[in-house]
Amino acid sequence: MSTTLRDPHHPVAHLRPPRNWINDPNGLVFHDGHYHVCYQYNPYGATHANMHWGHFRSPDLLTWEPLPIALSPNPDGVDADGCFSGNAVSDGDRLVAFYSAHREDRSFQHQPVTCAVSYDGGNSFRPRGELLIPELPEGCTMYRDPYVWQDGEGWRMLVGAALADGRAAALLYDSPDLENWTYRGPFAARSPEPIGGTDLFTGEGWECPQYLPAADGPGALILSTWTEPTGPMRVAALIGEEHDGHFEAGPAVPADHGPDCYAPALLRAPGDRWLLWGWSWEARDEAWAVADGWAGLLTLPREIHVHDDGTLRQQPATELLALRGKHIVHAEGETHGSQPVDLGSVGRAFDLTARLEPTGNAGLRLLTTPGGSEYLDIHLDADTGELVVDRDHSSLDSRARGGSYRMPCPVGRPVDVRVVVDHSIAEIFLTTTGQVLTLRFYPTGQSPWRLQARTAPGTRLGFAVDAWELHPLVIKEPSTSAAEPAPASP
């Protein structure tokens, strides 16, 4: 991906434009043989402002073509101050993008739905020019982020909301033609409650609701939790089934156990496969990101489904195995005592698999400075039954955030993990259970990184670790028509 070689934190295998701010993935759709991925984009800088929709498409998730900006605010229109989040559907020969129309003269919390249509494979979109759903339902204190999907011969839409009675909600609409929409009430609504196994809550409002239906068994409603005055928090899921226009589900569970994944969006791929991308925000001071000229990236595309046991499971899309290059680490054995075992060197972008068989607390350490003062730890806590990812020592730069994050992990049997590290992002997939934890980190070390197996005193760790270089995505050079907009007064 085209970027300055002097920036050690810019990813190579995660989708984003070369510069400027991005946030939520939008408009994810498979159309005419291509995956389309749009995203919230500020073409004028590395801060959250001037929201447009940037746009890539790919035939295979590996080679990406930048397309012209899909949506731009109309200074005199219903979206004068931003084309905010939404999704897109394929309808015959056209793509229809649904999004939140933002104007400063409306409440920031009230972002009504509008749409735009493309008849040329996403190269250009014609905005509707007026609101698709002009009136908000009574009792909404927040309203945004449409998600539309086909249901039989008709169409349905969810919109994220907060209600005056204190509940967060996903509101349901239906339509026979994508044009005329009827409000059916809350699809799901809850007062703030704990997200299972964490000290986090489901929030006062829900952003970017995404529905993963299932032909048989349970489906999932994926939600980005929002709370005043903090704003965006974490990603949760409700696992359940729909009955008469209402989603009946059990307690909320984490959809990503890390601190740096938000606003994930779904794409229904060929073969009845579902893919998900999330926004991974920066975990460093804003001034640092602005100075570097970019902020935010999209996670790896993930295959996602609800397992027979009712758990939400994710793994990197199968196509990403083609990004594996040279096999740089192959290590099998076990630790003896508390002395760390060196497993080998890795670069700044690698894909790792490990089978770990500990008798107590043990795990892997990624050392990013020669003296070992800077490192990222991934270890099993046998006392609590959790996989822990600790970034408190992952950067010697004080402008980077720390923190330790956990996801449940079975004990007493081998544990399989897959770790994809790409310069400043780590996505840790607990293959054993299908859970995932996403975080950002900003190593300062310039020498080759090293992997170690480490154990607590009195503990033994059996390990089998393999790592491959991670090749960059292929990003085609944009055509003239896909160039950045001319500089303008934001």
* Whether the predicted pLDDT of 487 surpasses 70: no
Following CA atoms 178, 181, 187, 189 in sequence, which dihedral angle do they give, to the nearest 10 degrees?
120
Question: 215 pLDDT band (50/70/90 cuts)?
Answer: confident
DSSP lists the bridge partners of residue 34 as: 31
**Mean pLDDT throughout 62-74?**
98
135 close to 113: Cβ distance less than 8 angstroms: no
pLDDT of residue 488: 47
Q: Does residue 123 register a pLDDT over 50?
A: yes
pLDDT, position 18: 96
Give this prediction's pTM.
0.96
How many beta carbons lie within 10 A of that of residue 370, not counting itself?
12
Tell whether omega for the bond before 229 is within 30 degrees of 0, i.e. cis. yes
Query: Strands (DSSP E) along 256-414, which ranges?
Result: 262-269, 273-280, 294-295, 297-298, 302-306, 312-316, 324-334, 341-346, 349-358, 362-367, 375-381, 386-390, 404-408
What confidence score (pLDDT) does residue 229 get? 86
Task: Give the Cα separation of 478 and 2 in Å (integer).
Answer: 11
Exposure string over 179-207, b if 16+ CB within 10 A, otherwise e = eebebeebbbbbebeebeebebbbbbbbb
What integer pLDDT is reported at residue 404 of this predicted model? 98
- What count of Cα atoms within 13 Å lies in the side-chain half-sphere of residue 419? 31
Write out pLDDT tens, residues 428-481.
Answer: 999 999 999 999 999 998 888 999 999 999 999 999 999 999 999 999 988 655
pLDDT over 50 at 4, yes or no: no
Please give the pLDDT value at position 480: 56
Q: What is the mean pLDDT of residues 271-278?
A: 96
Name the 3-class secondary structure at 393.
Answer: coil
Give me 1's structure tokens.
Answer: 């991906």
CA distance 257 to 481: 40
Widest CA span in the chain:
70
d(CA 163, CA 140): 5
Tell me which residue has tokens 């083609």. Answer: 322
Confidence (pLDDT) at 266: 98
125, 70 contact by CB (below 8 A): yes
Res. 283: pLDDT tops 90: yes
In this prediction, residue 149 has a pLDDT band, given cuts at 50, 70 and 90, of very high
Q: Which amino acid is at 267?
A: L
Residues with Cβ within 8 Å of residue 355, at least 6 apart in sequence? 414, 415, 416, 463, 464
pLDDT of residue 145: 98
Which phi-psi region, left, alpha or beta, contains residue 197 (left: φ > 0; alpha: ψ -120 to 50)? left
Compute the average pLDDT of residues 410-424: 96
- Rounded to whole angstroms, how far apart are CA atoms 486 and 166? 44
Mean pLDDT of 33-52: 98
Exposure on the CB side of residue 237, measured as CA atoms within 13 A? 28
Is residue 298 scored above 50 in pLDDT?
Answer: yes
Percent of the chain beyond pLDDT 70?
A: 97
Q: Which two tokens mark 54? A: 């940037």
C-alpha pair distances (Å), 81 with each of 18, 52, 297: 24, 10, 23
Identify the three-state secondary structure at position 146: strand
- Note the pLDDT tens digit of each residue in 445-458: 888 899 999 999 99
C-alpha radius of gyration, the chain, whole number = 22
Q: How confident is the model at residue 25 (pLDDT cuts 50, 70, 90)?
A: very high
Token representation of residue 339:
């002395």
Tens digit of pLDDT for each residue in 244-270?
Answer: 999 999 999 999 999 999 999 999 999
For the ranges 122-126, 212-216, 250-254, 304-308, the lowest mean pLDDT is seen at 212-216
pLDDT tens per residue across span 371-394: 899 999 999 999 999 999 999 999
pLDDT in tens, 167-214: 999 999 999 999 999 999 999 999 999 999 899 999 999 999 999 998
Mean of pLDDT values over 295-312: 97
pLDDT given at position 253: 98
pLDDT over 90 percentage in the chain: 91
Tell me what pLDDT residue 323 has. Answer: 98
Closest Cα to residue 173, out of 214, 211, 219?
Answer: 211
Alpha carbons 396 and 445: distance in angstroms, whole number: 9
Confidence of residue 489 (pLDDT cuts 50, 70, 90): very low
Quickly tell me which residue has 């970017």 as its tokens: 208
Distance in angstroms (rounded) separating the CA atoms of residues 100 and 23: 14
How far apart (Å, rounded) are the C-alpha atoms in residues 435 and 346? 24
pLDDT at 5: 52
Cα–Cα distance, 443 to 421 (Å, whole number): 12
For residue 485, the model assigns a pLDDT of: 61
Contact indicator for 346, 329 with CB cutoff of 8 Å:
yes
**1 has a pLDDT exceeding 90:** no
